[in-house]
Amino acid sequence: MGDPLLSVRDLHTTFPLRSALLRRRVGAVQAVAGVSFDLHPGRTLGLVGESGSGKSTLARTVIGLERPTSGQVLFQGRDLAEVGAREMRHLRRDIQMIFQDPYASLNPRRTVEQIVREAWEIHPDVVPRARWAGEVRELLERVGLDPSHAGRYPHQFSGGQRQRIGIARALALRPKLVICDEAVSALDVSVQAQVLNLLQDLQRDLGLTYLFIAHDLSVVRHISDEIAVMYLGRVVEQAPRHELFARPTHPYTQALLSAAPVPRPWDQPGRARILLQGDLPSPTDPPSGCRFRTRCPKAVTRCAQEAPALVERHGHPSACHFAEPLTGVAP
Ligand SMILES: Nc1ncnc2c1ncn2[C@@H]1O[C@H](COP(=O)(O)OP(=O)(O)OP(=O)(O)O)[C@@H](O)[C@H]1O
Ligand SMILES: [Mg+2]
């Protein structure tokens, strides 16, 4: 398959936990606790997990907004912790991020044209100044916006259109890797589908690579080649998307899939429902052994003593001592 574009190796990102009163360090939040994966050019890795599982922290560590406590982020084989300032500037162009709330990340006092071309002021060698206006129009057209609206302000657009502005801005530097952090989560389902289709068209036309983050499996399902399921800072299962949906082996994945809404429930009368008990434990004090055990219907004594490694079990990596394929659980 060739070399990966992005490799994450046993990545840990820990935040100090300070007491409100004395600002003394009283503990640590293990937001990302040993994540590894490879992402190949032109592919999409979907990353799912409930709120607080560490998805955004992982993304922020990959683009250098957080410092890893240990482990490595390799982009095109280069360890991001070891590159100099000059090379880092270059790499920063190659990795762009699209956020959940385009409104919060778009400056309300700048026109769409100013927003899209902003990055060229910082990276003047990407597009010559004489080409800026033309390039903005091309980018707007590419993301499905009317180029004659380049002089309008963000509040003059709908939520879906604003997300398209965010996408145009991310594409302005001609990145190789685009990290979409809950990029469509705030949109209505029909608008979500349109933006997902746009992202897929852009991937095909521009050869983009995506790390696509969402808390909802149904969102990552169609866009991902491969899906990694995160729980409390760790990946618990990773598989090609068809395999993940057809034969999930980790009890957490099985529970997530069984909880997904079914479009035609009468077609699947016997579909298993697995209910998760309780909330996500705190990442400041994760359970011993398997982090999922406190909510797992299969948990036994061994699970409290021995953390299961993410290794091949029944055809793809799964971090459960008792991994077992379960069919008929996904809608
Ligand atoms: N700067 C920070 N300082 C301290 N703790 C943090 C910081 N950023 C994140 N955390 C904690 O790290 C854990 C993971 O948070 P993160 O935002 O990465 O989760 P997430 O999977 O993106 O959740 P969501 O689906 O809600 O976006 C949470 O417990 C969060 O409170
Ligand atoms: Mg997040």
48-52, 186-190, 317-321: which has the highest mean pLDDT? 317-321
User: What residue's CA is closest to ligand 1, atom 25?
Assistant: 51
Tell me, in angstroms, the distance from the centre of ligand 1 to residue 63's CA: 16
User: What residue's CA is closest to ligand 1, atom 31?
Assistant: 52
Q: What residues flank ligand 1, with Cβ below 6 Å?
A: 15, 29, 31, 49, 51-57, 215, 283
Q: How confident is the model at residue 20 (pLDDT cuts 50, 70, 90)?
A: confident
Ligand nearest to the CA of 60: 1
What distance separates the 2 farthest-apart alpha carbons in the chain?
A: 68
Pocket test for ligand 1, best of 12, 26, 56, 65 (most atoms within 8 A of CB): 56
Tell me, in angstroms, the distance from the centre of ligand 2 to residue 58's CA: 9
What angle is formed at CA 218 by the lines to CA 216 and CA 224, rounded to 5 degrees?
100
User: What residue's CA is closest to ligand 1, atom 4?
Assistant: 15
What local confidence, expressed as pLDDT, does residue 124 receive?
A: 87
List the alpha helices (DSSP H) in 47-131: 55-62, 85-94, 102-105, 112-122
User: What residue's CA is closest to ligand 1, atom 28?
Assistant: 52
User: What residue's CA is closest to ligand 1, atom 12?
Assistant: 31
Q: Specify the pTM.
A: 0.93
pLDDT tens string 208-259: 999 999 988 988 998 999 999 999 999 999 999 999 999 999 999 999 998 7
Which residue in this structure is represented by tokens 């809950």?
182
Label residue 107 exposed, middle or buried (CB < 10 Å: 0-12, 13-18, 19+).
exposed
* Of the candidates 211, 215, 214, 123, the residue with the CA atom closest to the CA atom of residue 169: 123
What local confidence, expressed as pLDDT, does residue 277 receive?
A: 78
Sign of CA dihedral 189, 42, 5, 119: negative
Residue spans of the domains in the chain: they are 1-94+175-188+203-224, 109-174, 248-331
Quick one: 1-94+175-188+203-224 is in which CATH superfamily?
A: P-loop containing nucleotide triphosphate hydrolases (3.40.50.300)
Is the pLDDT confidence value at 262 over 80?
Answer: no
Sign of CA dihedral 109, 170, 173, 32: positive
What local confidence, expressed as pLDDT, does residue 202 receive?
A: 97
Q: How confident is the model at residue 264 (pLDDT cuts 50, 70, 90)?
A: low
What local confidence, expressed as pLDDT, does residue 216 receive?
A: 87
Q: How far is CA 272 from the centre of its chain?
A: 28
Angle between helices 159-171 and 112-122 (to 10 degrees): 20
Residue 75 region, left (φ>0) first, then alpha (ψ -120 to 50), else beta? beta
Tell me, in angstroms, the distance from the centre of ligand 2 to residue 13's CA: 14
Scored b (16 or more CB within 10 A) or e, 9-40 reads bebbbbbeeeeeeeeeeeeebbbbbbbbbbbb
What local confidence, expressed as pLDDT, does residue 22 receive?
A: 75
User: What residue's CA is closest to ligand 1, atom 10?
Assistant: 31
**Taking residues 248-277, what's their average pLDDT?**
76
Tell me, in angstroms, the distance from the centre of ligand 1 to residue 29's CA: 9
**How do 95-98 and 78-79 pair as beta strands?**
unpaired
Tell me, in angstroms, the distance from the centre of ligand 2 to residue 100's CA: 9
Is the pLDDT confidence value at 111 over 80?
Answer: yes
Phi and psi angles of residue 51, each rounded to the nearest 5 degrees, phi first: -55, 130
Looking at per-residue pLDDT, the higher value among 122 and 135 belongs to: 135
Tell me, in angstroms, the distance from the centre of ligand 1 to residue 282's CA: 11
What local confidence, expressed as pLDDT, does residue 203 receive?
A: 97
Ligand 1 atom nearest to CA at 182: 27
Ligand nearest to the CA of 229: 1
Q: How confident is the model at residue 147 (pLDDT cuts 50, 70, 90)?
A: very high
Rounded Cα gap, residues 247 and 25, in angstroms? 43
Tell me, in angstroms, the distance from the centre of ligand 1 to residue 131's CA: 40
Ion ligand 2 contact residues with beta carbon within 5 A: 56
- Stretch among 92-106, 181-195, 306-320 having the lowest mean pLDDT: 92-106
